[in-house]
Every structure is written in C-alpha cells, then in structure tokens.
Amino acid sequence: MTWQTFAFLLVAGAAFGYSGYRFSILFKMMKNHQGKNNRLNNIPQRITTAIINVLGQRAVLQKKNAGIMHATIFWGFIIISIGTLEQFVTTLYAPANFEFIGQGPYGALLLVQDILTFLVLAAVLYACYRRYVVRPEGLGKSRDAGIVLALTGSLMVSILLMNAFHILGLDPWYKSSLPVSNKLAGVLSGMGVSTDAYANLGTFFKWVHMLMVLGFSVYIPRSKHLHIVAAGPNTFLRTLPREKGMKPINFEDESLTQYGTAKVTDLSWKDALDYYSCTECGRCQDLCPAHNTQKPLTPKMLILDLKDNMYRNKEAILAGKYEEVQHVIDENVTEDVIWACTSCRACEIACPVFIEHTDKIYDIRRNLVMMESRFPAEVQVVFKNMETNASPWAFSAADRANWAEGLSIKTMAEDSNVDVLLWVGCAGSYDDRNKKVLRAFVSILKKAGIKFAILGTEEQCTGDPARRIGNEYLYQTLAKANVETMNRYNVKNIVTACPHCFNTIKNEYKDFGGNYEVHHHSQFIAKLIADGKLKPTKAMDETVTFHDSCYLGRWNNIYDQPRNVLNAVPSVRMVEMRSNHDQSMCCGAGGGRMWMEETIGKRINVARTEQALETKAGIIASSCPFCMTMMSDGVKTKEMQDKVRVLDIAEIMDSAT
C-alpha cells in the first residue's frame, strides 16, 4: 500500500464517516415527526416527474437565465463526478482507470468533462455576478451561498489545473480530448520547470480536488446545499396533481389529542424533507403577494425558520421527548406571519423543488384556532355567522334564495331531474354586486337551453372560509351537511361561479362521500360557446384585462377557458397584466383574508388593481366573487370607478348574446 493510498483511505474514511453520521441524524429527525403522510402511490408517474424535473431540470428552467445557470452546474457535476470517481479509484489502485471502455468512448467522455468543467466555472462566475452585483431581493444575503460558490469554482479550477499540468508533465495520449485544459497548458508551459515538476503539480492539484470533494461531502449536511441530496427525493414524493385538497382531520379518532400543528414535530416527515430541499433561491418570495406588500410573511423564510426551529429542538426530537419541543410560533414564525397568507399558492407553483408551504400554514392555523383560540378578533364573528346562518355574513339562511326572485328558477326539491345543479354560493346569495353575476349566469343558462335547479334554502356555505382559517370542525359540519343534501337528490353535475366553492366541492368533498362532476362557470360557458349553444353576436368595443383567480388558476390550472369566453365576444380587445396566468398576483381575499382586516403594509387588492390600471383597459374582467369585490374596492381606492368597470365574464357574455 502506497502512502497516497493510505492517506486517501484515512481522509476519505473520516469524511464519509462523518458525513454519514450527519445524514443519519437528519434522517432520524425527519422520521421522528409525528404527522402522517403517504406518498408512495402512483410510482410510475412519480418516476416520470422525477426524471423530467430532476434530470431534465424543467421546473428550474422556468426562470430562464438562473435556470440555465443552475442546470449547467447540475448536469456538469453529474458528468464531472465520473472523473472524480476515477480519481478516487486510481488513487486506491492505479491501473483501475476507465480507459477499459475504449479509446474512442474514453476520449469522448474526457472531452465532455473538459468542456463542462469550463462551463460550470462560467456558470459559477455568473452566479456570483447575479448574487453580488445584480442582487435579486429573493436571494437575500447568505454566507453559505458564498462558501459553496467559492468551493464549486475552486473545484473546477483544480480540475483544469490538474489536467493542464498532467498534459505538460505526462504528455498523455488523450490530451487532444481536453481542449480547454490543453489551452491552459499552453499558457502554463512558460513556467520553465521540469517535466517531473509539472507532473508533481498535476498530482498536487488532483489531491486538492479530491480533498475539496471530501470537504464538500462533510459540509453538505450542514449547509443549504443539503438540497443536492434532498431535492430529488422531494420531487419524487411531491403532490402529483395540480389540484389538491386540504387533508381532513378524523375527529372520530379518539386517540387524537392534538388538532393541527403546535410543535414542528406535529408536521410530517415530508414537511421536514421540504426544509432539507429548500435551495433558498427566493422564487417563492418573489411571487408572494404578502411579502410584496410589506407583510411579515415570506415563504422562503417560513421554511427556513421552521427548519431552524427543528434544529433548535434537535436533542428533544432525537430522544422522542416531544413534550420538550418548543412551540412552532416563536420569534421568527409569528402569528402575523401565519395570518398573512392568502393561500394563493404562488409560492408552491414557483418552487423548483416542489416544497408545499400552504399545508404547513393551514395546519398551524388549525392549532391556533381549535386548540388555543388564538385568531384575529373579526374572525369570531365569521365563525358565529357560519354556525348560525350557514354563511360568513350575518344574513338569515331563510333569505338565501331571495336573489332568484322573479327568475322562475326551480329548486331541487321541486324538480331534481335536471342537467346540472347550480351552486350559488354565499356571495351569489347575499352580496348585492354578486347577485347580478348570478342573474346574468342564469340568463346564459336559459339562453343555452340548460335545465338546471338550485338547492335554495337547503344550500349552506361550503365551509371553505372556516377551513382555510383553521376551523376544521366547523368546515366538516357544513361539508357533511351539504354532501348529505346533494346525495339525497342524487346530484351528479354541479356548476358554480365561485372558484372557492368549485375547489372545495371538486377536490375536498370527496373525502366525505361527495363525488361530483364540478364545473366552474367559465368552463361551462366556454363549452356552451364551443358546442354552438351560445352565440355571442353583440359587439363590445372595449379593451379588457382578465384577473386570474388563484383558486381557479393556481389551484386548478384553469387559465384558458375564461379568456376563451372573453375572446368570443365581438370587438373585445384582450390585454394581459404584467402578472398573469401562473405568475398572477392574488387579489388578497383567499385563505380567509376576505374576512380579516389588512393592517400591515400596502393593501394587496390595491397593488393588484394598480397592475390592472397599467394596462389602460376599460374593463377588469373577473371570474370570482371575492376577486370582484377586492378589485372593485381597489378601483374605488384609486378613484377610477368612473373610468374602469369591474365585470364578471358572465355579465360580459350575457350582454353579448
């Protein structure tokens, strides 16, 4: 055994041993989370999504320049690591190089490695320029990032120097396969030292490279670059469909003594894997409406602060002493942080490693509401109204169908043999502005010859506001009552003008036996037009901009149908806001924020209205009662109500037919 072999075994054994020990601690902390989370279904689909987003880097490449930079480093490291493995192997046994694959393939491998080494170095320099010169807000300041960039750049330089000095000292047959290193060798040839000295310098930089790689393996478990290991599994275990519902609590399980998350360990192992996977890229923060209007919430810091809470409680978690784990609400994750969320899911759509922020916030809210009765004072009135009137507003349940007076609409009790149940929702039932939307939609249904009915006074709030705020018990009470009512009438098809009702009934009622074909009115109207049952012929000489509802778009991936409806109106000129589709800005009403005061920072609805006004459109089109309310208030705040109208797509289509 040579001294180099002995030294390598000693250093590598210590490095990998310590790294393995650190990873075992991280794994045990993750495993010791008490929340349940089954993520091993649909294995073929999970493999496919992992290949596309890990090897293919599709999610990363959604942000072009930064994505190309990251993808170059990622792909470069994969190929370059083959060369690093060869260095390790030949240090242990010199003849065991990879030339056995043949001179042609081996030369091609070296060529690709050499070029990628240069490209990775260039990508690192660009990353430094972006972080320290451009300085996007989302990246923030990170000493850890600086260390990793310096280490990565040094690794690439060491490879190029190793190859260049070996070319000068050993004159290997494959030097023509190393164009970058060969060029560098030409520069270094002027050093005027002996051939043996060049060879020794090559060996020196080989050791520099290997030691830095081993150092990297020790550093990774303690750094933000833990995502190198965690992001792949996290992508494989992601929630597969865009549509997802909140997880129900089984209140009949008598063994449950904790509802929601009071301590970080009440979350699941998958939540801990989310912390490990965070790249700290700031894409989530860049799109967060709360952060962009000076609220204390930033999705990136929420994940990092939860990880910090977990690390602070490491000893208690590893020992299984959950009673000693500190509360999840601390000096970083404050109540203001938790209540600032509008549940728009911009953070989740932006995240390249599929971290799920909203579920964590929901679960912390559940504990605050149901276990500790800590919530904004105005929410108490909302809960009381929902308990007594089955609506967030203080209107009598007996008045729920008054909006339909004079329209000759039958209830399901009168005739349940219909094509579709029209789910009105609380806004359509009680809000004067949104009553007009429902009446316009009813007009459309009649023009198209659709046989429909409503539940009338049997309809109750879907429970969405209660659930998003954290009152899961109240939500389930309302949900089960609605499911029982609809199943009694053997309801199969539902259409609603409210994305919140749409999302809840479509994605969440199935947990309580409510399996229905649910359509948002934008989908329904678009299909009526496509089928020729609705023919818009009256021109509307207007410039229109469309505001995407979060619960229609990011929650359910519906973007085209509302625009198709508007584009079908003669003479309408569509113009997009600078934030649209997946990148759209929330109106500020989701996640129960519709019923909470907004006292911190700029009002979200005003910020979004300003984006709409930038387009110079005369009409702001909406497809959500909450969005309509918030955008209308924003227009009034900007004193533009005499110049800009806020209309639902149903109102626009009704006037065109």
Q: What is the DSSP letter of 331?
A: S
Residue 495, phi then psi, degrees to nearest 5: -130, 140
Per-residue confidence band for 269, with pLDDT thresholds at 50, 70 and 90: very high
Dump the DSSP string for 591-656: TTGGGS---SSS-HHHHHHHHHHHTT-SEEEES-HHHHHHHHHHHHHTT-TTT-EEEEHHHHHHHH
Say how far apart CA 43 and CA 71 lie, in whole Å.
Answer: 25
pLDDT of residue 535: 94
Lowest mean pLDDT among 96-105, 279-288, 556-565, 585-594: 96-105
Residue 7, phi then psi, degrees to nearest 5: -65, -40
- pLDDT tens digits for range 225-261: 899 999 999 999 999 988 999 999 999 998 888 999 9
Strands 543-546 and 619-622, by their bridges, are: parallel
pLDDT of residue 138: 84
| 103 C-beta neighbours (distance < 10 Å), count | 11
- Interior CA angle at 81 toward 45 and 89, to 5°? 125
What is the arithmetic mean of pLDDT over 468-478? 98
**Rounded-to-5 percentages of helix, strand, coil across the chain:** 60, 5, 35
Say how far apart CA 244 and CA 508 lie, in whole Å.
Answer: 8
Per-residue confidence band for 5, with pLDDT thresholds at 50, 70 and 90: confident
Strands 493-496 and 517-520, by their bridges, are: parallel
Residue 487, phi then psi, degrees to nearest 5: -70, -30
pLDDT of residue 1: 65
Chain length of the chain? 657
Highest mean pLDDT among 1-10, 68-77, 126-135, 643-652: 643-652
Say how far apart CA 69 and CA 131 lie, in whole Å.
Answer: 12
Q: Which of 528, 520, 513 is nearest to 555 (CA)?
A: 520
Output the CA–CA distances (angstroms, integers) from residue 57 to 61, 281, 345, in the order listed.
6, 15, 21
Burial (CB count within 10 angstroms: exposed 0-12, middle 13-18, buried 19+), residue 322: middle
Dump the DSSP string for 190-241: GG---HHHHHHHHHHHHHHHHHHHHHHHHHGGGSGGGHHHHHHHHHHTS--S
Dump the DSSP string for 520-550: EHHHHHHHHHHTTS----S----EEEEPPPT
Helix, strand or coil, per DSSP, at residue 125:
helix
Q: Residue 39 is encoded by which pair of tokens?
A: 């993520």
Per-residue confidence band for 336, with pLDDT thresholds at 50, 70 and 90: very high
Q: Which of 656, 418, 420, 449 is nearest to 533 (CA)?
A: 449
**Residue 372 one-letter amino acid:** E
**Residue 175 one-letter amino acid:** K
Lowest mean pLDDT among 65-79, 517-531, 557-571, 609-623: 65-79
What is the arithmetic mean of pLDDT over 419-423? 97
- pLDDT tens digits for range 140-163: 888 888 898 999 999 999 999 999
Lowest mean pLDDT among 35-44, 340-349, 414-423: 35-44
Q: To the nearest whole number, what is the mean pLDDT of the chain?
A: 95
Q: Would the pLDDT of 41 be above 70?
A: yes
Say how far apart CA 274 and CA 262 lie, in whole Å.
Answer: 18
Q: Would the pLDDT of 384 be above 90?
A: yes
Say how far apart CA 320 and CA 243 lie, in whole Å.
Answer: 35
Say how far apart CA 355 and CA 149 lie, in whole Å.
Answer: 23
pLDDT of residue 191: 86
pLDDT of residue 461: 98
Q: Residue 604 is encoded by which pair of tokens?
A: 């979200």
Helix, strand or coil, per DSSP, at residue 369:
helix
Per-residue confidence band for 222, with pLDDT thresholds at 50, 70 and 90: confident
Say how far apart CA 335 and CA 361 lie, in whole Å.
Answer: 10
Cut 0.75: pTM above it: yes
Beta-carbon-side half-sphere exposure of residue 48 (alpha carbons within 13 Å): 5
**For residue 315, how far is the Cα from the chain centroid?**
31
Residue 494, phi then psi, degrees to nearest 5: -130, 140
* Contact of 73 with 116, CB cutoff 8 Å: no
* Contact of 592 with 283, CB cutoff 8 Å: no
| 375 C-beta neighbours (distance < 10 Å), count | 22
Q: Which of 550, 546, 577 is nearest to 653 (CA)?
A: 546
| Alpha helix (H) residue ranges in 415-549 | 425-430, 432-447, 464-469, 472-488, 499-507, 521-530
Q: Which of 369, 443, 366, 454 is nearest to 407 (CA)?
A: 443
